[in-house]
Structure 1
Amino acid sequence: MAVEVEFVNHALVEHRALFERWAERHGVDAARRLAEAEDLADAVAAEITPDNTVDTYAKSWRVWQRFCAASGLPEAEGSRGALVAFVAWMLCEGQQNGTGYAPTSASTHLAAAVVGLRTRGVTVSGDAQAEARADLEGLTVKLLRAGERRGRRQAVGGDIDGLRAIARACPDTLTGYRDKALVLTGFRYASRSQDPAGLLTGDVALHPRGLLVDVLAGKTKHSVRTAKIPYADDPEICPVRAWTAYRTRLVAEHGEQWNAPATPAFVGIDRWGHITGGMVPDSVTRAVKRISARAGVPIAWTAGRPGSSW
């Protein structure tokens, strides 16, 4: 809490200093307009920053706070030694269960923690960050030489038998229909849980040959790609039929408003069958885990699935 207050105070002091410099150079009226432009720039930046990026920064800052508490170092310092110690701690014992992070996760937390420090007014030199990153790479090489590989295993892609098992394990409920559509269509276009979570009803269109799905691509610089999902020869695992059946049941049970283009393509459903809103990446991940466990088939979103032709 003290660090957050310090962060806010620092921002106020910084803005006040800017205003005073502008007033000296251009006069009070121009300084006021420049300050309003700064506020607008901050608002635009907040609006276009992806939610998952904000979540990453917040999570990494909590990791930094745990490190500082464990090591007895102050949170509001980004010295060379502190960053190197942070890297070593993450690889050794940084996770809450006492095990070390995978190097890729440690790299993400290091970068985001540096951003967090700087936004709170803490000076972090480029040399200090570069040394911490170099040490991270060196320690990663040592782990590999020792035969220790951390991180996610390669995702298991679905095959025909696995998809049939998943389809047959989905119950005859709206949730079951949604799960079936989520997996059978997602198998064709989803590389991340954000992909189906971000879809709107208007992003999915029926075509004589199948479905056209407009997917938001890219983690930071977004563009839209259109995935083409054809009908399958086997009706049991046909993504187009699964999608149509799910959407038909959703509207029949919960109203025509769910046909509106701006509504979520995939909705959250509680245990009583109530709609809880659109699915978010975490709820998609949890749903996929439940589907996987229910069918006894290991599944995950894997890159390279989206089709580019019929």
Structure 2
Amino acid sequence: MSTDNLPARPAQAPLLPAEFDDALRARLAALDTASDEHAQDQRPDNTVRSYAADWKTWTAFCGQLQIPTTAATRGTLRAFVDYLWNREKRAYSTIDRKLAGVTVTLRTQYGVVISPEDTKAARELLKDYRKKAEEAEEPARGRGKAPAMRLDTLRLIVDKCDGDIFGIRDRAMLLLGFSIAARRAELAGLRLRNIRDDDNGLLVDVRVSKTEPRTVPVPFGTNPATCPVRAWKEWVEAAQIAAPDRHAFRRIHHTGAVQPQGLTPQRAGDLITAAGLRAGVEALFTGHSVRSGFATEARRKGKDRKAIAAITGHKEGSKVLDGYMQIVDQWDEQDNALIGLGL
């Protein structure tokens, strides 16, 4: 075989890691620290809080076993799953997330890399526990899926919002949240600079997201009472928001004075829940309900899955997005083999 096209060998072979001197090691360690801090700064606040809560649970567990928190092995991870499932009675999704939180914290804060086979073994045990619980017909754990805020209900809730500054904010948050299929953290994370005027409506840059950032074009609504663009402009004018780096949705003092501080994700979700309760809706909506509601209504209107995913930020073939569609598709002639059989 000819070697004419191969790159020339370097005159001096590169140093191997074992040959690094102390000065180089120090520079590399500083780079590691800086990169970790930068990555931490990019992580959404709610993710940081979740990881902190996961680590607190892990620390309490390790304290009971009298083992160091860095002792994450196949056995300790399985014991952690058993502890959370059988003693703490946690939901499946909560335990799965806590495993991820502990793994990330150990890697980023302590340099402990857990074997993928060990985490897989822990998750397999978790799946076995869930399967046995289903076979025993035990009640499902956790809150379950957020109820979808369908369009007719959204109209009712928006109509029941007061005409004061509180109602103006809640109406804008509900309608814009529905239009961009927002998670509560995405609503809370919006800054004024993320929402830009366009001749056709608004361009909303969703930067704070658990998935990839996305830009959602929000057109003017055909009904002025539920138009997200008009609702947003009314809120901006009423709240006198001007600083581009300030939060789009703010806290409001009980006197009606708009505060410079933004809403937390928890507060944004609570406001959506409260708006539904004020309107007398039986379903208990959460911060995720506007997101689920958009996907459900868009599918019901026959919108293409790719067009829906472009707004929700889901990847192609997402099982989560399919779960939203199920509400509609189960009664679709193409997706329900019973329809048209002649029964």
Do both proteins adopt the same fold according to a TM-score greater than 0.5, normalized to the shorter chain?
A: yes
- Which amino acid is the alignment partner of residue 296 of structure 1? G
C-alpha contact 2:150 2:293 (8 A) present in aligned 1: no
Listed one character per residue, the Cα deviations across residues 99-149 of structure 1 (whole Å, up to 9, x for unaligned) are x22211111112222333454366744443322111111111112222232
Contact 1:169 / 1:294 at 8 angstroms: preserved in 2?
yes
Tell me, in whole angstroms, the C-alpha distance in 1 between the residues paired with 2:244 and 2:113: 47
Q: 1:238-261 CA deviation, whole Å, 9 max, x = no partner? A: 22222121111111xxxxxx2233
Q: For 2:209 and 2:20, how far apart are their aligned partners in 1?
A: 41
> Relative to 1, partners in 2 of residues 1:178 and 1:37: Cα closer, same or farther, differing over 3 Å?
same
Distance in 2 (CA, whole Å) between partners of 1:56 and 1:296 is: 32
Counterpart residue number, 2:276: 292
1:141 equivalent in structure 2: 131
Structure 1 counterpart of 2:11: none
- 2:35 pairs, out of 36, 41, 44, with 41
Alignment of 1:23-34 (within 5 A): 25-34=19-28
| Aligned match of 1:74 | 67
8 Å CA contact 2:218–2:229 kept in 1: the answer is: no
Q: 1:79, 1:203 → 2: CA distance?
A: 44
1:217–1:225 contact (8 Å) kept in structure 2: no
Structure 1 residues 230 and 152, CA gap change in structure 2 (3 angstroms):
farther
Q: Deviations over 1:200-259 (max 9, x none)?
A: 212223334333222237525x332223233232x32222222121111111xxxxxx22
Q: Which residue of 214, 228, 242 corresponds with 1:259?
A: 242
Asked whether the 8 Å contact 1:78–1:124 carries over to 2, the reply is yes
Equivalent position SS for 1:268: strand
Tell me the SS of whatever aligns to 2:207: strand
Paired AA for residue 271 in structure 2: A
Taking structure 1 as the reference length, what is the TM-score of the superposition? 0.76
The letter for the 2-side match of 1:154 is K
Q: Residue 145 of structure 2 aligns with which residue?
A: 154
Asked if 1 retains the 8 angstrom alpha-carbon contact of 2:184 and 2:269, the reply is yes
1:175 aligned residue: 166
Partner of 1:245: 234
Deviations 1:42-73 (A, max 9, x none): 3322222332322221111122233345x444
Cα distance in 2 between the residues matched to 1:203 and 1:125: 40
Asked if residue 268 in structure 1 is aligned to residue 259 in structure 2, the reply is no
- Contact 2:250 / 2:263 at 8 angstroms: preserved in 1? yes
Matched-pair contact (CA < 8 Å) for 2:103–2:113 = no
| Structure 2, gaps ≥5 residues long | 1-15, 299-306, 309-343
Residue identity in the other structure for 2:123: R
The partner residue of 1:103 within 73, 92, 115 is 92
How far apart are residue 178 of structure 1 and its match?
A: 0.3
**C-alpha distance in structure 1 between counterparts of 2:99 and 2:239, whole Å:** 43
Separation in structure 2 between the aligned mates of residue 32 and residue 88 of structure 1, nearest angstrom? 41
Report the AA paired with residue 57 of structure 2. V
Quickly say closer, same or farther: Cα 1:83–1:250, change in 2 above 3 A: same
Quick one: which amino acid aligns to residue 180 of structure 1? R
* Residues in 2 aligned to 1:32 and 1:159: alpha-carbon distance in whole angstroms: 57
**Aligned amino acid, residue 63 of structure 1:** T
Q: Distance in 2 between matches of 1:84 and 1:35?
A: 33
Count of residues paired in the alignment? 274
Aligned residue runs from structure 1 range 57-136, under 5 A = 57-69=51-63, 71-76=64-69, 77-94=71-88, 100-118=89-107, 119-120=109-110, 124-136=114-126
Cα separation, partners in 2 of 1:175 and 1:102, compared to 1, 3 Å: same
- SS of aligned partner of 1:34: helix
Q: Using structure 2 for the length normalisation, give the TM-score.
A: 0.70
Q: Give the number of the structure whose residues are more often helix, by fraction.
A: 1
Q: Secondary structure at the match of 2:120?
A: helix
3-state SS of the aligned residue for 2:197? Answer: strand
In 2, Cα distance between equivalents of 1:28 and 1:111: 34
Distance 1:126 1:162, change over 3 A: closer
Q: Is the 8 A contact 1:203 1:214 kept in 2?
A: yes
Distance 2:151 2:73 in 1: 54
Q: 1:14 maps to which residue?
A: none
Q: Is the 8 A contact 1:212 1:226 kept in 2?
A: yes
